[in-house]
Structure 1
Amino acid sequence: MPLNPGPRQRSGETYSRDTGGGLYYLPGDPFAVWEGTFMVGTHSMTAALSDPLGRDELLQEYGFTFANGGGRQRSVDQALSTEPLENLVQLAAKLCGVPYGVINVVTSDEQQQVAAVGVEAAVCAREDSMCAQVFLSGKTTVVPDASLDPRLASNPFVTGEIAAVRFYASVPLETSSGFVLGSLCVFSNSAGTPDKDQLDMLEILARQAVQLLELQRRTLQLNSALDEVRESNAKLAEFAGRVSHDLRGPLTTMLGYVEMAEDEVDGDHPAAEYLQIIGASGHRMLTMLEDVLTYSRMGGVLQRQHVSLQDVAAEVARDLGLSFGPGAVLDSGEMKLHVDPGQLRTLLQNLVANAMNYRSPDRDLSVRISGISNYHGTTVLVADNGKGIAPVDRQRVLEPLVRLHRDGDGHGSGLGLAICRRIVEAHGGELSLKESPGGGTTAVISFPADQ
């Protein structure tokens, strides 16, 4: 619905919105159109809001960056899309029947238009901003003819120096904490006044804009937290790799001396049993250090190549001493993958080794590798018929150093599946576990389509 044009405003007279949402006129000519101040629909405040000293720092939490030294280079975080805000502004302008609308963010010294329709988003000094004059009022401001309003008549957006705004309506963008980011405003070069329904919708859209900006803020906070976690994990993996590397040398030397001592001691000597225990414990420790070192090295820089899934599976079978092919312990379908071949080999070897370590005592081991490709990407399935993993544990065992400690389970470092997950995620994919038909565990490896 377009704005209703009316007689020119009489300076100093206003109309306001009552608590029921209706309009009432203050004393004066009942046929005149006045400058109006409207209460925001869900806001209870009537006093003007304060402008915090740390305004720019608070705005940076919403993805708005500001140049140092008084420069005018203001921008929204490039990782964030302004399209939802632009769509909202376009809707606000259409609902009010005006050609122009913007979402303004007001800094300590400037106004930044972060979304606009009908005009190109720009930056101006705060003292030149119309919205900066009213956005801390705690109310929706409606001005039928800005050229007659004492607050705005000399503004360069009204005088023609920048623009020639006449009708102007502005709703503060206030967060739940009371911080006012800026305003949603619509305007026109012609005088006019909105009706009740148009103002209701404008205030609703302003609240939606605040919700979008709050979502943007939480997204940035989450991204920052994830970056910190990734950096911390990378440093931890690097540290673990260095420690494992430094410990492996002395441990290997110790095991060498244990083997020499075993050769010197008769089998019935009491020391032989102790040396055997020391050797077994040392080899388990060496295996764990190797796993930690492997975990720290996985991911990183990938050397992608187009490789055959079947060829890599055959190499894994040879490494583990398993028969390979139809009807054998390990079999694989054919599929081409664009991955790091070394890391794919480690991934499959860990999964098949897990199947060997946790095989069912009731049936012969069987491991089948297959793949599916479609427009979503590529999925590789590694299915065994072993003991299986309870649903409650399937996510947990993908974490580092997690073991289930079930009866009959062999020794392990608890890093095998964590290494697999790290490899898959380094390729941009996901790893999950489910039950195999007939019992056992199936590892589901999903690679995105661009891989």
Structure 2
Amino acid sequence: MNGAVTYSHEAAESDRTTGLREYGLVPAEAGEAPSLPDAEAAKALDNLVQLAARLCAVPYSVVNVITEGQQIQIAAFGVDARVCSREDSMCAQVFLPGTTTVVQDASQDPRFAGNPFVTGEIAKVRFYASVPLQTASGLVLGSLCVFSDNAVSPQAEQIAMLEVLAQQVVELLELQHRTLQLNDALAELRRSNTALGDFAGRVSHDLRIPLTTILGYVELAEDDPDISQGSAAAEYLSRIAGSGRRMQATLEDVLDYSKVGGQLSRERFSLLALTAEAAGDLGQALGGASGIHCDDAELVADRAQIRTLLQNLIANSLNYRSTEHALHISISAVTGETGTAVSVADNGKGIEAADRQRAMEPLVRLQRAGDGPGSGLGLATCRRIAKAHGGELRISETPGGGTTVSVWIAA
């Protein structure tokens, strides 16, 4: 029976240590105090312990984290934050049951009379009150503790408010926990994106080589004088070539999508000059019969990624133009204190309000009659570029009809 009890205690402590580690409260090295995520969180804890001491009219207050072998003070008022062994800790004797402990004179309490914080070996604590820091899941992280060198008889209302402050400490540590979880998720996402980019690059390279070979032989066959135009063989070759080129374009789109959104290389550049390059890649020139017009502006962003964004948005306008009037694409930018909004507006078919969110998802095509070819990755790629720049992408209707895509780039 004793063995079973011992095992249960050790298992419980192991689980609690795991929980403390998830909250970032177990230090990397023995004897070190853990660091809160930022200066604001540390200041908030300092304010809470100071308020706790003032509330109970005592000179000292601390937030203790109790590990398997130590008591770590992560905030303190009236004393310097320190680390001691769990064996010497007063809070370690009473914090696990999850109930508040109030002792008017610790030297008269058998639980604490021989403790070095009471005997004078470390301190001469007399009044002592401790509120466990218990999360909603039942994990006890440590305690909010107030104490004095003199015997004190606190009012019940003071202890009740001390318990409220302890809950505020728990909520602050919960916020740290969520921040750590988000940071871990972000780091994992970055690793995943890097792996995706590497994988897409390898797959794209491995598939493009045989695909290029196939298309090369198709072109040779199409030029073969023994294959007459209009024959079944010529039709089959045409279909193979069309499918192969669409696959080739999709591979390029997948590769572009996997690459964007990573580390940015910001620089200053002209929106007009970059738009001219992006349009040129599509066989278009600015102005004149192309119907593509761009206002100049200076941007500070990742030039390569913004070029990809402009090329995708212009290509979408070309693919989804209206058959009722000549195409008109207007590209502009508005810069403010917090960033720049780049807009690409056209007078094409437009996107219904109900379809706009779905149109930004990867590999989604609206499948409308008369639409040009595409992989469904253009807007998804643009959205990733916007997010990488600390902004967002929005789709709205162009006054008079058409689609306006606005991309916010944070300063």
Report the TM-score, using the length of structure 1 for normalisation: 0.82
Mapping for residues 27-426 of structure 1, pairs under 5 Å: 52-54=12-14, 55-67=16-28, 71-76=30-35, 78=37, 81-264=41-224, 265-325=227-287, 329-426=291-388
- 1:361 Cα deviation after fit: 2.6
Please tell me the residue identity of whatever aligns with 2:203: V
Please tell me the residue identity of whatever aligns with 1:343: Q
Please tell me the residue identity of whatever aligns with 2:328: S
Alpha-carbon distance change, 186 to 434 in structure 1, aligned in 2, over 3 angstroms? farther
Once the two structures are superposed, residues 100-145 of structure 1 have per-residue CA deviations (whole angstroms, 9 ceiling, x without a partner) of 2211110011011122222232211111111112112432111122
Please tell me the residue identity of whatever aligns with 1:64: L
Contact 2:37 2:176 in 1 (8 A): no
- 1:156 Cα deviation after fit: 2.5
- 1:78 Cα deviation after fit: 4.1
Alpha-carbon distance change, 375 to 193 in structure 1, aligned in 2, over 3 angstroms? farther
Q: Distance in 2 between matches of 1:193 and 1:363?
A: 86
With 399-408 and 327-336 compared, the bigger mean Cα shift is at 327-336
Please tell me the residue identity of whatever aligns with 1:155: N
Q: Distance in 2 between matches of 1:164 and 1:390?
A: 74
Alpha-carbon distance change, 425 to 129 in structure 1, aligned in 2, over 3 angstroms? same
Q: Distance in 2 between matches of 1:96 and 1:327?
A: 80
Q: Distance in 2 between matches of 1:340 and 1:274?
A: 43
Q: Distance in 2 between matches of 1:388 and 1:123?
A: 65
Alpha-carbon distance change, 119 to 331 in structure 1, aligned in 2, over 3 angstroms? farther
Secondary structure (helix, strand or coil) at the match of 2:371 reads coil
Q: 2:406: which partner in 1? A: 444
- 1:243 Cα deviation after fit: 0.8
Please tell me the residue identity of whatever aligns with 1:129: S
Secondary structure (helix, strand or coil) at the match of 1:76 reads coil
With 273-282 and 205-214 compared, the bigger mean Cα shift is at 205-214
Contact 1:322 1:329 in 2 (8 A): no
Please tell me the residue identity of whatever aligns with 1:145: D
- 1:242 Cα deviation after fit: 0.9
Secondary structure (helix, strand or coil) at the match of 1:197 reads helix
- 1:385 Cα deviation after fit: 2.1
Q: Distance in 1 between matches of 2:159 and 2:191?
A: 48
Please tell me the residue identity of whatever aligns with 1:444: S
Contact 2:36 2:42 in 1 (8 A): no
Please tell me the residue identity of whatever aligns with 1:240: A
Contact 1:147 1:166 in 2 (8 A): yes
- 1:386 Cα deviation after fit: 1.9
Q: Distance in 2 between matches of 1:261 and 1:115?
A: 79
Contact 1:347 1:420 in 2 (8 A): yes
Unaligned residue ranges in structure 1 (runs of 5+): 1-48
Between Structure 1 and Structure 2, how many residues are aligned? 399
- 1:306 Cα deviation after fit: 0.9
- 1:150 Cα deviation after fit: 2.6
Once the two structures are superposed, residues 356-379 of structure 1 have per-residue CA deviations (whole angstroms, 9 ceiling, x without a partner) of 111223332222222222222222
Secondary structure (helix, strand or coil) at the match of 2:218 reads helix
Alpha-carbon distance change, 345 to 212 in structure 1, aligned in 2, over 3 angstroms? same
Secondary structure (helix, strand or coil) at the match of 2:13 reads coil
Secondary structure (helix, strand or coil) at the match of 2:18 reads helix
Alpha-carbon distance change, 166 to 436 in structure 1, aligned in 2, over 3 angstroms? farther
Q: Distance in 1 between matches of 2:194 and 2:35?
A: 29
Q: Distance in 2 between matches of 1:287 and 1:172?
A: 61
With 237-246 and 394-403 compared, the bigger mean Cα shift is at 394-403
Report the TM-score, using the length of structure 2 for normalisation: 0.89
- 1:328 Cα deviation after fit: 6.7
Identical-residue share of aligned pairs (%): 59
Contact 1:304 1:340 in 2 (8 A): yes
Alpha-carbon distance change, 138 to 427 in structure 1, aligned in 2, over 3 angstroms? closer
Q: Distance in 1 between matches of 2:74 and 2:253?
A: 50
With 138-147 and 100-109 compared, the bigger mean Cα shift is at 138-147
Once the two structures are superposed, residues 184-229 of structure 1 have per-residue CA deviations (whole angstroms, 9 ceiling, x without a partner) of 1112233212112211111112222223323332332333234323
Q: Distance in 2 between matches of 1:437 and 1:160?
A: 80
Q: Distance in 2 between matches of 1:267 and 1:439?
A: 43
With 194-203 and 320-329 compared, the bigger mean Cα shift is at 320-329
Mapping for residues 9-28 of structure 1, pairs under 5 Å: none
Contact 1:65 1:76 in 2 (8 A): no
Q: Distance in 2 between matches of 1:146 and 1:243?
A: 70
Q: Distance in 1 between matches of 2:119 and 2:397?
A: 73
Q: Distance in 2 between matches of 1:338 and 1:441?
A: 25
Contact 1:65 1:77 in 2 (8 A): no
- 1:236 Cα deviation after fit: 2.5
- 1:77 Cα deviation after fit: 5.3
- 1:442 Cα deviation after fit: 2.0
**RMSD of aligned residue pairs (Cα, Å):** 2.4
Contact 1:245 1:293 in 2 (8 A): no
Secondary structure (helix, strand or coil) at the match of 1:136 reads coil
Please tell me the residue identity of whatever aligns with 2:198: E
> 1 or 2, which has the higher helix percentage?
2
